[in-house]
Structure 1
Amino acid sequence: MEDSVNVEKALDIIKRNILSIISSMLLVGVLATLITYFIMTPKYEAETQMLVSSPSDSVIVNFENIETNLQLIHTYRDIILSKTILEDVITNLGLSQTVEELSKQITVTNQDQSQVLSIVATDASAQQAEQISNEVAIVFKERIVEIMYVDNISIYAPADVAPGIDPVSPQPLINIAIGMVAGLILGLIWAFSKAYFDKSVKNEIDVYNVLGLPVVGSLAKFED
């Protein structure tokens, strides 16, 4: 009995405040829309793929060479994001970013047991993201010979961003959906908080909650 009353009370609170709850949901949804389209800066991605192969003087490719290359990949990731590489990239492209800022725009990924390294650059300009991604790969390929005395890097898939490509962020539909859900939650919190602090008796459910007695009847309101 008590559980059913609690459910009825919750539904009654929602019903009485439905307009406020919907308004909150729509308001936050509209706010999320405005922020997405007018405040957040679109971000574009460009990816350059490199192959870590056996040294050029090695004709026979064996499992030992492949295993060595896979171990080197972890080292290569750190070198790609190092000050040595990124300073050259900044100079070559005439970028205004610092090394630290540029490093945050670059992600180096590698699938398990794969000899392919992917350099993904993110920027507010699709063209600049492409330039950064490709330049990082070019500089790394040149400098790795000096740093580790190996020449086993080949760029087999340079970044090539198509005109009119969609930004990877922000994602309007997701942002708006999150905004509306947040608005719904805020509306419900407001409705239940209001009901919790409001001690006035409004209906039969309130009578039961206050007095602990079942309601056997009710009187209709008569207008003069």
Structure 2
Amino acid sequence: MNFAFLDQLKNNSVPLAALLRGVQKYWLIMLLAVLVIGVGTFYVSTYLVQKTYQATASILALNNKEDSSDGKDSSSMTYTTLMMANLLINDYKEILSSRRVLDKVDAKVCEAKNITEPPKYKLSVNFKRNTRILEISATSNDKDLSLQVATATTDIFTSEIRDLLKMDNVVTLDDPKLEDAPVSPRPLRNTAIAMVLALLLSGGVVFLKEISDDSVKTPEDITETLKLPVIGTIPEAGSKKSRRRSADDAKQPRHKRLDFVGLFSIDEKYRHISEAFRLLRTNLQYLTPENAEKNAKVFTITSAMASEGKSSCCANMALITAQSGKRVLLIDTDLRKPNVQNFFELDRRVGLVNYLSGDAKLEEIINRQVVDEHLDVILSGPIPPNPSELLMSETFQKMVKTLGTDYDFIFFDAPPCLNMADATIVASNSDGVIFVLRHGSTRMGAVQRAIRQFQQTGIKVHGVLLNRFDMKRVGYGYYNYYNYYNYYSYYQTDGNKEA
């Protein structure tokens, strides 16, 4: 379901934008809630709630002077008559609701039904606005009882007015009549009200959820909140169901298995994602440090928290850049929870830790021509007890300077930066940081704290890479972008098949 007309409204108001985003994300749940409550209300109103019936009668009570036929036509007398009639209205109402009248009504109904205990019913008296017409209504769960109460009340009230007020001009305009349909419940009205309330309630819940949710949603939100450019947007690779592992698939290298989303550029299935990384590669060309005309451009790839996809993004950035003919080195500097080896089917028993500890030479830890002839990889090695001390060593600094003359690009896969100093130490040996944020998961507050952590130490943050961006959920413009790359991928695949 698309909401193309909402895109123009989203930038006008933060609360409105939150509501519209929530409706786009949860419209199906809201619709189901409205339908379930509507159907439930209709069923309860129709079959479970006891029906109530109503009988009504209308009486006109006149002053005796209005009956005079002496030929006088005095305006003063007419005014006096009207005033007296209006003053009698409250008297009529009190008489109708008096115990004297109600007892007689009960007695008459009991006699008609041949019972001893008065049945339950409700009697109400209303005056029609700006008139002297009384409307008597009797309601109960019994059709016959409602009509009997209305009839008895009309007869007894007429008699009491004549006896108490000595008035003969009490006219029954409408005899007691029972309405054909129950006055309560009204299934259609109740259902409509319940559905409207359900819509408002679900909309309120969605609004509160969205307004209190500070997770990353759109590139525009990132730019506005973080004041940083979004240098790349990586689409969602698909659901786990679409990457379900088969028996034949298990025999493939891990980075080619369907259940492992790793190197997108070597899998035709994820062509739209590899295209997004190529666009990122183009943007990286413009992030050239002023003092690095000949040396490598060194980027630290990190995230605020774990499970943001930084290692996947870093591995793909390195591979895509190498495929363009650039000499690229990928170094896994996450010495606490390394992951780069999983993308390339490499053994990490010998790596950066061995070199920094003096147990291996630099040449021994470099894996040459991994997947692409222009890509080299240095893995983390065994997990050390003192990762921060190793990264702070002069050996690491000299290693980066030495390798900088041999490569065009060096990518550090750094650990998450919050609550750990490792990423800051690694970034201090690079030309700047690229933050990986996961769409719908990363919290803006955590990212802001992480960015301040780098800025306070003078480390440049180049921009943000938005990972696993679900374009179909965000809006019409992104949805078209997603469809374009899907079409491109399909066309290329068919072209290869035909060839």
TM-score, L = length of structure 1: 0.79
Cα distance change of structure 1 residues 9 and 158 upon mapping to structure 2, 3 Å threshold: closer
Letter in 1 for 2:163: E
* 1:18-29 map, 5 Å: 18-29=27-38
Are residues 1:151 and 2:168 paired?
A: yes
Tell me which residue corresponds to 1:105.
123
Q: Quote the sequence identity (%).
A: 23
2 CA distance for matches of 1:157 and 1:220? 73
2 CA distance for matches of 1:54 and 1:8? 65
Per-residue Cα deviation, 1:102-153 (whole angstroms, up to 9, x for no partner): 5x532232331x3332212222233322211121111112222332333332
Tell me which residue corresponds to 1:179.
194
Structure with bigger RCO (C-alpha 8 Å, 6+ apart): 1
Per-residue Cα deviation, 1:176-214 (whole angstroms, up to 9, x for no partner): 111111111222222233334444324424424642445
Structure showing greater Rg:
2
* 1:193-208 map, 5 Å: 193-208=208-223
Per-residue Cα deviation, 1:81-100 (whole angstroms, up to 9, x for no partner): 11110111011102323xxx
Worse-superposed segment, 173-182 or 206-215: 206-215
Contact 2:18 2:207 in 1 (8 A): no
* 1:70-149 map, 5 Å: 70-94=86-110, 95-97=118-120, 104-112=122-130, 114-149=131-166
Cα distance change of structure 1 residues 25 and 2 upon mapping to structure 2, 3 Å threshold: closer
Q: Which has the higher helix share?
A: 1
Q: Which runs of 5 or more residues in structure 1 are unaligned?
A: none
Cα distance change of structure 1 residues 205 and 134 upon mapping to structure 2, 3 Å threshold: farther
Contact 1:28 1:182 in 2 (8 A): no
Cα distance change of structure 1 residues 185 and 143 upon mapping to structure 2, 3 Å threshold: same
Letter in 1 for 2:104: D
Displacement after TM superposition at 1:79 (Å): 0.6
Tell me which residue corresponds to 1:68.
84
46, 52, 58: which one aligns with 2:61: 52
1 CA distance for matches of 2:151 and 2:48? 29
Count of matched residue positions in the alignment of Structure 1 and Structure 2 = 216
Cα distance change of structure 1 residues 197 and 71 upon mapping to structure 2, 3 Å threshold: closer
Q: Which runs of 5 or more residues in structure 2 are unaligned?
A: 1-8, 71-76, 111-117, 238-260, 263-499
Displacement after TM superposition at 1:174 (Å): 1.9
Worse-superposed segment, 26-35 or 55-64: 55-64
2 CA distance for matches of 1:209 and 1:35? 49
Contact 2:26 2:206 in 1 (8 A): yes
Cα distance change of structure 1 residues 88 and 203 upon mapping to structure 2, 3 Å threshold: same
Cα distance change of structure 1 residues 10 and 118 upon mapping to structure 2, 3 Å threshold: closer
Cα distance change of structure 1 residues 213 and 83 upon mapping to structure 2, 3 Å threshold: farther
2 CA distance for matches of 1:193 and 1:139? 58
2 CA distance for matches of 1:175 and 1:212? 50
Cα distance change of structure 1 residues 214 and 190 upon mapping to structure 2, 3 Å threshold: farther
2 CA distance for matches of 1:172 and 1:131? 26
Contact 2:10 2:20 in 1 (8 A): no
Letter in 2 for 1:182: L
Moved over 4 A (4+): 221-224
Contact 1:134 1:159 in 2 (8 A): yes
Cα distance change of structure 1 residues 221 and 133 upon mapping to structure 2, 3 Å threshold: closer
2 CA distance for matches of 1:56 and 1:4? 69
2 CA distance for matches of 1:121 and 1:11? 49
